[in-house]
Amino acid sequence: MEGMTRGELSKRTGLSMATIRYYESSGILPAPQRATNGYRTYTEDYLVKIKFIKDAKSLGYSLKEIQETLQLLSQEMDADTLKKIVYDKIVEIEAQISTLHTLQTMLRGLLQTDQEDIQNYLKSFHINGK
């Protein structure tokens, strides 16, 4: 039989068979061809797509973004379009970093708050002795 089974693809990519099945059912990966025996057969290009998915996830892309990008990549795409996608992700990451810095500053401020003020704040949640 030409191609790989889902189990072989799982072993070669490190993804569980359930994850591969999920990626297929959600449309992130295209449905594979079926052999005459009914088994799904995966070609080498699935290895490339799964590597892309894993790499993109590690860079913070959501599965929806990955699916959209894979759809774009399956069409004719120029370098400028790809650069725009990457640039947009950089802007999003920078906004997340800014938000995390703000949160970090707030938490550090809490550590500097007077013990008595913290106790009074916590007591305000204990209404009617509960």
pLDDT category at 1 given cuts 50, 70, 90 is very low
71-118 per-position pLDDT tens digit: 888 887 788 988 888 898 889 889 999 999 999 999 999 889 898 888
Check if the beta carbon of residue 23 is closer than 8 Å to that of residue 13: no
| pLDDT value of residue 128 | 56
Mean pLDDT of 43-69: 92
Q: Do residues 53 and 11 both lie within one domain? A: yes
Q: What share of the chain is helix, strand, coil (3-state, %, to 5)?
A: 70, 5, 25
Q: Do residues 100 and 128 both lie within one domain? A: yes
Please check whether residue 83 lies inside any domain of the structure.
Answer: yes
Higher pLDDT, 3 or 74: 3
- Give how far Cα 27 sits from Cα of 22, 31, 57, 67, 104, Å: 8, 8, 16, 7, 37
CATH of the domain at 1: 1.10.1660.10
* Domain, as residue range, for 18: 1-61
Q: Which two tokens stand for residue 130?
A: 């509960």
Q: Do residues 43 and 98 both lie within one domain? A: no
Q: Do residues 32 and 82 both lie within one domain? A: no
Q: Does position 7 have pLDDT exceeding 80, yes or no?
A: yes
11-55 per-position pLDDT tens digit: 999 999 999 999 999 999 999 998 888 889 999 999 999 999 999
Would the pTM of this model clear 0.85, i.e. be above it? no
Q: Do residues 5 and 30 both lie within one domain? A: yes
Please check whether residue 94 lies inside any domain of the structure.
Answer: yes
Q: Do residues 13 and 54 both lie within one domain? A: yes
Overall domain count for the chain: 2
Question: Which of 36, 61, 86 represents a domain boundary (last residue)?
Answer: 61
Q: Do residues 52 and 94 both lie within one domain? A: no
Q: Does position 129 have pLDDT exceeding 60, yes or no?
A: no
| pLDDT value of residue 19 | 96
Q: Is the dihedral of CA 12, 14, 18, 23 positive or negative?
A: negative
